[in-house]
Structures are given as C-alpha cells and as structure tokens.
Amino acid sequence: MKKDFFAQLVHGAIDKAIEEKQLGELQENNFNPICEIPKNTQFGDYAVNVASLARFAKMAPPIIAQNIARYINPKGFSINTAAGFINFKLEKELLNSIVEEILDKKEFFASSNIGHGEKVNLEYVSANPTGPFHIGHGRWAALGSTLANIMNFCGYDVYQEFYINDAGNQINKLARSLELRVKELKGEKVIWEDDLYPGEYLIDCAKRYIESGEKENYADFAKADMLRLQKELLEKFRTHFDCFFSELSLYKNNEVEKCVAELDKKGKLYQKDGAIWFKSSDYTDSQDRVLKKSDGTNTYLTADIAYHKNKLERGFTRLINIWGADHHGYIPRMKAAIDALGYDSSCLEVLLGQLVNIIQNGEQMRMGKRKKMVTLDELVDEVGVDATRFWMLMRSIDTTIDFDIDLAKSQSDKNPVFYVQYAHARACSILRKATEKRIDTENKSELPALFSTEELSEIKKDTNIESLFDENQSHDSKEAAKALILKLEESKAIINAAAKLRAPYLLCKYSQELATAFHHFYNYSRVLSDDKELSKKRLAIVYCFTVILGKTLDLIGVSAPQKM
RNA sequence: GCGCCUGUAGCUCAGUCGGAUAGAGCGUUGGUCUCCGAAGCCAAAGGUCACGGGUUCAACUCCCGUCGGGCGCACCA
C-alpha cells in the first residue's frame, strides 16, 4: 500500500543520509518510519514524521526533514518538508496506477496475507439453547461474522464456532418449562415454579411437541427446537458457523473427565469442603476455582476447559473468543487452565464486547431472557438485517451501545447505512445510464446510448485516467477525483488494520468516508457527457468505487444495492 | 474494597504510533436541482479533550492520583 511505500522510501533515505553524515550524531538507522494521511490535505497526501529523530541527531526537526528528503528521488509524486514532516503529493502517474490496480484486482484489491494462513478458531454467540436471542447476541453475531470475513480476507484461516451450552441446570429448567406449557395446552392447571422460562416462545414449542407425537423427552425436544430457531435466525442475520459444538458431546466422549484427570496428574487440583478445586491462583487468577462441586457435578468451567483443550488439540494456534463484558472475570481462570494443561495461554484472545442497552419509550430495559425483552428476531424484523448489523458494528467494541428501538424504527432513513447504500446505488445508476438510450429534452428526440455494453466492459478493464488531472480540468474536479482515488487506496490500510486490531467498526467508518468522497466527486464532476473520452475515464473511477465499496459492505455483511 | 471498560461539540461517537489548526454523523441556521438519483452537496455556529499532577522538544494520546458512569467479583451458566 502507498503508506508502506513512502515509509520504506524514507527509511532508505535515512540510510543514505547517515552514510553521508547529514544527520548529526545519528549513527544507526533504528527508526521505523510511519506514514500517515495528514488531517490537513494542504500539507500533502501522505506524510512521514521524522521529528522524533531530533533527540538522537541533536538537530532541529525541520533540518532533519530537509536532509532526509534530499535523498528521495520523486517519481510520480512531489515532496515538501515542513516542521519535521516529509510530505508527499501524488501526481497523475501514481494516481493512475492505483486505478489500474483496482481494475486489475477488483474486489481483491485490498486483500492481503498478513495472517500467513494462521489457523484461528473464532468462538462467538455461544448462547444457551433455552430461548430466542436477545439484542446483545446480535452484537456478538455481527462482530464475529464480520471479523471472520475480514480476517479470512487478510490471509488468516478462520474457523467459526458456536458452543452450545446444552449440559447444565438450565436444560432441566427448560424441560420443566416445556412440560408445563404442554400441560397448559392440554387444559391442565399448572403452577409455575420460580426460576423457569415463562417466555411465550415455549407455547409454540409445546404445540410442535404435541404435533410431533410426544415421543422425545422434553429436554431433547426443547433443545433441538430452540437450536433450530437460533440457527434459522443466524442464517437470516448472515452469520455462518462452520461448527456448532455441543457441550454435552464433551461429556459423552469422556473428554471432561480426561481433562480433569490430566489436571490432577499435573498436580493442579486439590480437595476442600467436599469439592475439587483447580489451583488457578498459581497463575494470574485471583483465587482458586471449583471444578467439581460437593454434589459431584461439574461446574461450567470444567467443561469449558475441556472445550478449549479440544480446540487446541484440533490444531488451532490462536483461539479468539467474543464474550460480553459481564464475563471479563472469567478470563484469568481460562488462561490459567490453558497454561496448566501445558499450552501457552497467550494463544487465547478474548474480545470483550461492552453490552447493549435497549431503550424503548425513552426508558432503558435490562437485557435478560426471563424478563420482557426485545428479541433479536423482532429487532431484525423491524429495522432490517442491514441496519441492525451496521448499528451493531459501527461502534468500537469498547463502547456500550444504546440501541434506541424507536429511533431505529422511526428514523431509519437517517441511518448512516442508508447514506452508504445510497452512494452505491447512485454509482450503479450511472453505470446503468451509460448504456441506456438518452432523451434529448429540447426536441424530445431519442439519442443513442453513450456506450455499448461492450465498450463499458472495456472501460472496466483498462483505462488511463491521467487526463483527468490535466490543466483543462477544474481545480475542484481534480481535487475531488484525487481524494476519491486516495480514499479507495486507503481500503488496504483500513482492512488490514481492522484484521490486525480485530476492529470491524473501522470498516463502517471507512464506508461512510468513502461514500462521502464519492458524493463529493459526483458533485464536481459530471460523469456522463458528450465528451466520450472524459466520460470513459470518469466511469472507470465510478466503477472502481462500486467495487471497493461493494467489497467493504460485503465484509460487514451489509447489502450493496444496485437500486433503492 | 478489588478487577475490566469508559468520560472529547447540544446528542451519538472517531481520533492508529505521542506530532502540523481537535474530527464525523445527527440536531440548529443559511445556501444549492432546466442537466448522471437533492436519501446528495456547500457554508456557518458549536470544544477548558472530566479534574489535578508527572514524563517529553511535543500529551486527547503514555504514567500516577482524584471524581463521575457501566459491568463483574458463585460449589450459576
């Protein structure tokens, strides 16, 4: 990408400057130049800050910048220095090379191999099969699926996994709840005990149970039914798992007991108060944890340790889990377990997502399965998959989202996602118009289309847009075209950063900036005109825009409409 | 009490690695369609970056402390 290109250039120039003793007391080039895009574009398109060399060179930053810049041969760009910055401005040759590369690589323009094929297990959502998803699950689903898309695009080998918590007490409660619903449907009067699942969704489940002939036990039927509903919603929400991993299967395959035995063998367990404890405080945990309760049953942690062991045994070198912030205290004990089993716990990366508050009628509602709540299903039905995903993704993972249902419903046309999609539809419309017949408004006669479909596909393959930056173009038009091309190029840096930092929200932000750059370009440059050569070059840029924006939206799982 | 997250424009949020004049959307005000989609574009107003120290040539950014908000501190899952 261009940032790296200029950073390398500066690095090389520093080598030469040191050789020629132009950098004072600086002897060795340990400097890692970082290229950034200046906030103020008057300085340049790209800038490298060399001021931090001042303390080693014992020279003033502006002189350092000048002395380094002298060793850079400006080909396709111009250089200026100011206040410790070396600034670069791209000229038409380099701008054209960007467009050529996009036309050549298309949606893979920003693809990379920074992941080097690393085998990553990404676990997210992992809900109990006891009821419908709440809005918070939507955030984890959107985050996980998008992160998987981004990382796969950047050369990681991501395997997406959903851990089904189908082995705890909650399953007994679910079974009992279904049983009561079935009895109710048959006209029996029942008394609901505390702590059950009184949600109405179990009424439908009970109907299906009766229809099925009541052959299965309540627990198995309810679990399967809930899981089926969850899977359907996930598909609709464009979240695709490679594997649904059952907690129960760990017990059936004796993996839990084997795991406990292994920890015991390594001397990491002890008995106290009739329970079996894991010495997690030998590691970074604040206290020891119970694995086997005094009644002989295992805790949730026990199976989860076996699960993580299972993942590592399957050859994953990196385990990424997306958890809600309310689980943060759980991280040290999990890491302790991984270390105790002889693995390196630094392979476990837990992304803690802050929670989602639901705001309705101006009041905050608690998330929770047992209280009245808004389900993800309802939300998606009301505001759509695109808007829901975008809203869930657009904020950094560290920020609590206040999801205002009323706002999302009533002002959906003010959603940023519509702004972005509109830009895409607008660009597609121009590409469509290019091959449609035109109407001469003055004498109402029909004019032939500007381009044939063959010509348009030629434009999409090969063009030279350098003339867009000739003297006869207006300043605003040139600047807008340049800004758009640079913004397109930025997709490389943004997508790589999103993969490395596990930060999907960067793509939402970028998609908005890219849309703005396009609208700006559109405003200053009439694309289709009688000047056929000019139209061709501008169409090429419009096409590049649809490719890059389309791919960006594809990665975040939001549709890129041709028409709206 | 301890731990994690957080405090930036009226509201919701960006701010990468410590660098140039602090950024966007929404909202407000004023412009802008005979012409490719005005769901757009342009402009204006709006800031003691919670507060106090420290490190540095340079701090919204790093360190320490104080205050406010969220979440968690189980033989629940």
The predicted-structure confidence for A49-68, as pLDDT tens digits, reads as follows 888 887 777 777 788 888 88
Q: For position A444, what pLDDT does the model report?
A: 65
> What confidence score (pLDDT) does residue A365 get?
65
Query: Could you read off the pLDDT of A455-502 as tens digits, one per residue?
Result: 888 888 888 998 888 888 888 899 999 999 999 999 999 999 999 999
Of A292-296, A329-333, A509-513, A533-537, minimum mean pLDDT range: A533-537
Is residue A282's pLDDT more than 50? yes
Tokens of A258: 């084997």
Overall average pLDDT of the A423-432 stretch:
95
Which 3 state secondary structure label does DSSP give A384? Answer: helix
Covered bases, chain B (protein CB within 7 Å): 2-6, 12-17, 19-27, 34-42, 56-58, 70-77
Burial profile A311-332: b = 16 or more Cβ within 10 angstroms, e = fewer: bbeeebebbbbbbbeeeeebbb
Q: Is the pLDDT of residue A440 over 80?
A: no
A464 torsion bin: left (phi>0), alpha (psi -120 to 50), beta (else):
beta
pLDDT at A437: 78
pLDDT the model gives residue A461: 86
Write down the mean pLDDT value for chain A.
Answer: 91
Evaluate if the CB of A396 falls below 7 Å from strand B. yes
Give the CA-to-C1' distance from A402 to B50 in angstroms.
21
Q: How far is CA A383 from the centre of its chain?
A: 20
H/E run at residue A438 = strand A438-440
pTM over 0.90: yes
Q: Which pLDDT tens digit goes with each residue over A226-255? A: 999 999 999 999 999 999 999 999 999 999
With 0-12 / 13-18 / 19 or more C-beta atoms within 10 angstroms meaning exposed / middle / buried, residue A286 is exposed
What is the dihedral sign for C-alpha A338, A339, A340, A343? positive
- Taking the C-alpha atoms of residue A396 and residue A398, their distance in angstroms, rounded to an integer, is 5
Please write the tens of the pLDDT for every residue from A128-138. 999 999 999 99
pLDDT digits (tens, 9 = 90+) for A142-193: 999 999 999 999 999 999 999 999 998 899 999 999 999 999 999 999 999 8
Does the pLDDT value for residue A369 go beyond 50?
Answer: no
In the sheet with A243-246, reading across from the earlier edge strand, the strands are A243-246, A157-164, A119-123, A318-324, A348-353
Residue A204 pLDDT exceeds 90: yes
Q: What percent of chain A has pLDDT over 70?
A: 96
Where would I find the beta strands (DSSP E) of A9-153?
35-36, 46-49, 77-82, 85-90, 119-123
Token representation of residue A521: 């370009």
Amino acid found at A348: L
The DSSP 8-state label assigned to residue A49 in this structure reads: E
Q: E strands along A300-423, which residues?
A: 318-324, 348-353, 356-360, 363-365, 401-404
DSSP letter for each residue of A112-126: --TTTT-EEEEE---
In this model, does residue A531 exceed pLDDT 90? no
pLDDT of A495: 96
Tokens 């600086």 belong to which residue?
A26
Alpha-carbon gap, residue A74 to A480, rounded angstroms: 23
Indicate if CB(A330) is under 7 A from strand B: yes
Mean pLDDT, residues A293-308: 96
CB A47 within 8 A of CB A3: no
Find where tokens 């992160």 sit. Answer: A147
Task: Determine the pLDDT at residue A412.
Answer: 67
Report the complex ipTM: 0.95
A391/A393 Cα distance (integer angstroms): 5
The residue-averaged pLDDT of A72-93 equals 88
Predicted pLDDT at A23: 80
Burial group, residue A372, by CB count within 10 angstroms (0-12, 13-18, 19+): exposed
Contact status, residue A302 vs residue A280, Cβ threshold 8 Å? no
A157: Cβ contacts below 8 Å, ≥ 6 apart: A115, A117, A118, A119, A120
Whether the predicted pLDDT of A371 surpasses 60: no
Residues 27-56 of A with CB under 7 A from strand B: 34-40, 42-44, 47, 49, 51-52, 54-55
How much is the average pLDDT of A348-357? 93
Which residue has 């630094």 as its token pair? A346
- Report pLDDT digits (tens) over A381-421: 988 999 999 999 999 999 999 888 777 776 666 788 999 99
Question: Measuring from the CA of residue A538 to each C1', which nucleotide is nearest?
Answer: B36
pLDDT recorded at residue A41: 78
Confidence at A370, pLDDT banded by 50, 70, 90: very low
Say yes or no to pLDDT of A224 above 80: yes
CB A135 within 8 A of CB A358: yes
* pLDDT of A366 over the 70 cut: no
CA of A325 and C1' of B71: distance in angstroms? 6
Instruction: Considering only residues 227-286 of chain A, list those whose CB is below 7 Å from strand B.
Output: 272-275, 286
Distance from C-alpha of A316 to C-alpha of A1, rounded to nearest angstrom: 30
Distance CA A337, CA A268 (A): 9
